[in-house]
Structure 1
Amino acid sequence: MNAGQLPRWVDFGLIPLLNLTAAFLVSGLVVLIIGENPIEVVQVLLWGALGFGEGVGFTLFYATNFIFTGLAVAVAFHAGLFNIGGEGQAYIGGLGVAFACLALDQVVPWWVTMPFAIVGAALAGAAWAFIPAWLQATRGSHIVITTIMFNFIAASLMVYLLVNVIGEAGSMQPETRTFEDGGRLPFLNDFIPFADFGTAPVNLSLVLGLIACFGVWLLIWRTRLGYEIRSFGANPTAAVYAGISPVRTIVVTMLISGGLAGMMAMNEIMGSQHRLLIEFVTGYGFVGIAVALMGRAHPIGIVLAAVLFGMLYQGGAELSFEIPTITRDMIVVIQGLVILFAGALEHMFRPALVQFFTMRRLNAAQTG
């Protein structure tokens, strides 16, 4: 281990834990300022997220969305790309899911519709990521600027399509018709007899998300393409010198990233809402950035971070109900602090830890 490097357990375990602890300590101070007991707030939040079956179900439902968007950001990270267009890519992925369900839900069972919906979601999300990727690879347009602009374009396109093209005839709501049984994923309650998730819409998309985690692990750490992606992200100049095509790497990586983001729509459209509607993404794409940062762009870390944010979402909803002074906006503040410490202030504790472990290695070398 070179000077300046940290043990893996510190880099992937201790630093995220310190960041999370700092975020919750600052959140506790905010809770004290408004006159509430931070310990009571934590107890209510944990109980709302994990204390009963329905709460656990909603926590896992939200976590499923964050797994897909976190994986999308993580894959781009490994190539040195900052894809913040997961919001728009998931939005357009909803079109792929909806088209498959609208075409097949009345003629085939759900398990026939599901593969077409998965492919449709992935292709639609990848297609929406293609233009920013191509512009970055060939014209030098910064991927951050183009992907965030495409988020707004996706939202406007969705409004136009739902109002003028694919909206339900005779309805004033900007949404498609409700899918029949052939366009609905079963809930996990139907597959796990001993589970009681109540009315929570946690569904087979959770299993799909875990499979996607394993697939990303295989891709990044066990394939030649993954090695090229990591090499390009670590040192683009050396990667080009070694014969790795920057255009191919950028485009392929962003297509994979966009496809993963698009698959998030499976959970919301086919698994929960059972129709395509406005604003079904509701910020999941942006939270995926924090999930990838906190999870160190590794599938296992992403799953853990996704569950954490799922707990914040579900526990926060219960908290705002049980303690009215803790409003939903307050929960957003807590989520924002977690994102701040996990992202912008990620290096707050790192220099001191690097110095500490460097001194330990030097002392061990001298005594050895």
Structure 2
Amino acid sequence: MSVPYGKLPAWVDFGLIPLINLVVAFLVAGLVVLAVGESPLRAAALLVEGAFGYGEGIGYTLYYATNFIFTGLAVAMAFHGGLFNIGGEGQAYVAGIGVALPCLWLDQYVPWFVTFPFAILGAALMGAVWAMIPGWLQAKRGSHIVITTIMFNFIASSLMVYLLVDVLKPAGSMAPQTRTFVEGGRLPKLDWLLGAFGLDIGGAPFNLSFLLALIAAFVVWVIIWRTRLGYEIRTMGHSPKAARYAGIRENRIIIITMMLSGALAGMMALNPIMGDQHRMQLDFVSGAGFVGIAVALMGRSHPAGIIPAAILFGMLYQGGAEISFEMPEISRDMIVIIQGLVILFAGALENMFRPAITSLFATLGAARPGTAKPAE
């Protein structure tokens, strides 16, 4: 997307500004903790210790981060094309069908590594198709992508309730969920990865989809910055008029960009369905599609920034659970407030400090020797 202010060094744009936003968010969150009579420093220590202080906590942090990497990449892909895909939640939800059906059909006959490619394809395809419809509506009918993707979140929720209650639920079961998959539909844990560092992940569902998320991040980087399609997407995002003048077909790029975004969001469903629950349940996405918006903004829509931003939000989820357990005065609702503050400063107020920082660097640049304007 186009940059609204003067150009800054990359380390400032991608490092310093997100860091300042994060620090301010935690300072404000500290005031919230102080207001309920607890120590902000103790809460911060519990947050970090709960997320990174032991093997199982790290496992849960990376499990949550896996969801946010996928959804953050999905939002970033749309951002580069000048689109705001706010429907990652619904796209990931519908993509659960593409994961569950291969598992239900194959888990009793083949090992997981045979089922896994079919589940990846199913998740990506279902997410892409669900995102293609709002993309087509904007490209062909002029419907605003934000409105249609929000509406499709609700449609996806209703569709999944119907499928899980009336179609996919096993006979005689009262719970709105599929049957539990056997070994052929379960992803192996990555306990060996943390075990190499002497860490035991315990019951954490940290699984193979984390590596898939890292591969997806690399593929997104290749597509956006190393292919003709990526150039066309970025050109459309910077200036639709310039893209049209250059002969880039606007309708085609809108639809393709939304399909790629939906496919990335859809692959998020692999993590909870095959890696944790081993069945498809209601609300398995749990807000990850919306968190992906803040992850993409904090990561500046670049895979190298999205990965640490996703780990940060994984830390907030896992460490927040530790805080609510150790400090009863800070309820789970308070943790949601703290997470919301981070999203607020990383998202809605992302440019709050940018004008001042841009002016500061412009002043410093003008003050350097040899940069002064020569006398006429």
Matched, 1:366 2:372: yes
8 Å CA contact 2:72, 2:292 repeated in 1: yes
Matched, 1:102 2:108: no
Matches within 5 A, 1:90-239: 90-189=92-191, 193-194=195-196, 195-239=199-243
Look up the SS of the partner of 1:174 in the other structure.
coil
1:320 to 304, 321, 324: 324
Matched, 1:74 2:76: yes
Normalising by structure 1, we get a TM-score of 0.98
CA distance in 2, matches of 1:331, 1:19: 18
Residue type at the aligned position of 1:169? A
How far apart are 1:363 and its partner, in Å? Answer: 2.1
Give the equivalent residue in structure 2 for 1:49: 51
How far apart are 1:4 and its partner, in Å? Answer: 2.1
CA distance in 2, matches of 1:309, 1:4: 29
Normalising by structure 2, we get a TM-score of 0.96
Cα deviation code 1:203-259 (max 9, x no counterpart): 000000000000000000000000000000000000010011101100000000000
Matched, 1:28 2:30: yes
Q: Structure 2: where are the runs of 5+ without partners?
A: none
Look up the SS of the partner of 2:108 in the other structure.
coil
8 Å CA contact 2:194, 2:201 repeated in 1: no
Q: Structure 1: where are the runs of 5+ without partners?
A: none
Matches within 5 A, 1:238-253: 238-253=242-257
Identical columns (%): 68
Matches within 5 A, 1:286-301: 286-301=290-305
Give the equivalent residue in structure 2 for 1:340: 344
CA distance in 1, matches of 2:171, 2:226: 49
Aligned Cα RMSD in Å?
A: 1.3
Give the equivalent residue in structure 1 for 2:269: 265
8 Å CA contact 2:107, 2:183 repeated in 1: yes
CA distance in 2, matches of 1:149, 1:228: 28
Cα deviation code 1:21-80 (max 9, x no counterpart): 000000011111111110000001111000000000000000000000000000000000
How far apart are 1:166 and its partner, in Å? Answer: 1.0
Matched, 1:256 2:256: no
Give the equivalent residue in structure 1 for 2:313: 309
CA distance in 1, matches of 2:192, 2:299: 31
Residue type at the aligned position of 2:17? I
Look up the SS of the partner of 1:366 in the other structure.
coil
Matches within 5 A, 1:1-12: 4-12=6-14
